[in-house]
Amino acid sequence: MIVKKSPDEIDRMAAAGDILVRTLALVESKIRPGATTEELDAAAERFIRSQGATPAFKGYRGFPGSLCISPNSMVVHGIPGPYKLRKGDILSVDCGVILDGWVADAARTFAVGSISVVARKLLDTTQASLFAAAEQCRPGNRLGDVSHAVQRRVEQDGLSVVRSLVGHGIGRDMHEDPQIPNYGPPGKGVKLEEGMVLAVEPMVTAGRHDVRLADDHWSIYSQDGSLAAHFEFTIAITADGPRVLTPWHETTD
Ligand code: MG
Ligand code: MG
């Protein structure tokens, strides 16, 4: 069942999103060769709690971190730890914030110093596919229009959409209906209505789309070892069109 949100509830989710965006900016400022992923995680958790909010991921099904941090060929769900960043790495950082019972969820893949041409294209294309999908989040469109926008943009550049992982509705719960695949035909699926809030999250590899679960039962890697990127917005569908509640792409102070 899809739970729609009132304009007031969407404003409250945007307040959680604002803290999330500032958390990602803080993490970005600390990304440098030699930094460990557990240092980034600790800084994020301190900041989120200092704002009177709670990290949504911490303890979720036993997840130990406040961020999922996934370097290079890791697609998602990386556990923060002693891994030291190296120049040329790409680093996917996924964050969830709960404020007054409302959840926001967003992710970005960062470059650690200068990165390869392949890595740069992967990041640019994945981000562009999210923007293309966000543009489809309007009343009257179908969920398949959102999914198809990601697939079309990614495959146009010869990259692969991860198929076994999906985006999701979001609200009082981090994962609500509907599930949002990042591929599929346009014009199909649930009709989008004002008040729906979606976490749209393309996961893309520079190789094939298959993934594997690591021995820690959390981290998911590309099966072929190719680089992977992950960009995510929480987006409300409003009468005026898409409202991104986690606008990490805009300048914030
Ligand atoms: Mg996320
Ligand atoms: Mg999500």
Give all domains of the chain, ordered by start, each with its CATH number: 7-251 (3.90.230.10)
Q: Quick check: 252 pLDDT over 80?
A: no
**Ligand number, closest to the Cα atom of 166:** 2
Section 214-234 average pLDDT:
98
**Ligand number, closest to the Cα atom of 70:** 1
Residue percentage of the chain with pLDDT more than 90: 98
Strand order of the β-sheet with 220-222 is 74-76, 220-222, 211-213
Per-residue confidence band for 17, with pLDDT thresholds at 50, 70 and 90: very high
**Ligand number, closest to the Cα atom of 179:** 2
Per-residue confidence band for 102, with pLDDT thresholds at 50, 70 and 90: very high
- pLDDT at 134 (0 to 100): 98
Considering the chain, what is the average pLDDT of its residues? 97
Annotate 28-43 with DSSP letters as a single string. HHH--TT-BHHHHHHH
- pLDDT at 56 (0 to 100): 98
- C-alpha–C-alpha distance, residues 77 and 212, integer Å: 12
**Cα 22 to ligand 2 centroid, rounded to whole Å:** 17
**Ligand number, closest to the Cα atom of 230:** 1
Over the stretch 124-160, which tens digit does the pLDDT of each residue have?
999 999 999 999 999 999 999 999 999 999 999 999 9
- pLDDT at 253 (0 to 100): 45
Q: Smallest Cα–Cα separation from 16: which of 169, 249, 174, 194?
A: 174
**Cα 130 to ligand 1 centroid, rounded to whole Å:** 13
Tokens at 162, concatenated:
């991860």
Residue with tokens 């900041």: 47
Tokens at 167, concatenated:
């985006």
Per-residue confidence band for 226, with pLDDT thresholds at 50, 70 and 90: very high
Q: Quick check: 99 pLDDT over 50?
A: yes
> Between the CA of residue 216 and those of 45, 117, 220, what are the distances in Å?
22, 31, 9
Interior angle at CA 169, CA 75 and CA 208, nearest 5: 25
User: pTM here?
Assistant: 0.97
Q: Quick check: 251 pLDDT over 90?
A: no
Q: Smallest Cα–Cα separation from 159: which of 113, 112, 109?
A: 109
